[in-house]
Amino acid sequence: NAGVMQNPRHLVRRRGQEARLRCSPMKGHSHVYWYRQLPEEGLKFMVYLQKENIIDESGMPKERFSAEFPKEGPSILRIQQVVRGDSAAYFCASSPPTRPYEQYFGPGTRLTVT
């Protein structure tokens, strides 16, 4: 049973470009969470999605950031017009529908904005 997969593992973007981060949850998991880890900081919650629904986006910046989890395919975290402050590790976690507290984390995508 493959774990949570994220790609790319490393992403370099110039200021103003778009970044797309992908997350494939574990088989059978229908809940996806995105977290951001800034240097020397803990993980901060960004958004919680179920298939085709955003359940909680209270941690998402109001502008430039969006997330989706379509019926088919991976969850996508999209950052438009990236700035240097977006440089961070972005982690995705998934959980089974009946046990949302059992979050399994992917290896993360390290975004560097130059």
Tell me whether residue 2 or residue 14 sits nearer to other proteins (CB atom). 2
List binders of other proteins among 95-114 (CB under 8 A).
Answer: 100-108
- Residue 94 in 3-state DSSP? strand
Kindly provide the residue ranges of all beta strands, DSSP E only, lying in the chain, ordered along the sequence: 5-7, 10-13, 19-24, 31-37, 43-50, 53-56, 65-68, 75-79, 88-95, 104-105, 109-113
**Site stretch for other proteins (CB under 8 A), options 11-19, 35-43, 66-74, 78-86:** 35-43
**Site stretch for other proteins (CB under 8 A), options 13-21, 39-47, 63-71, 73-81:** 39-47
- Residue 33 in 3-state DSSP? strand
- Site of interaction with other proteins (CB under 8 A): 4, 6, 31, 33, 35, 40-45, 48, 55-56, 59, 91, 93, 100-108
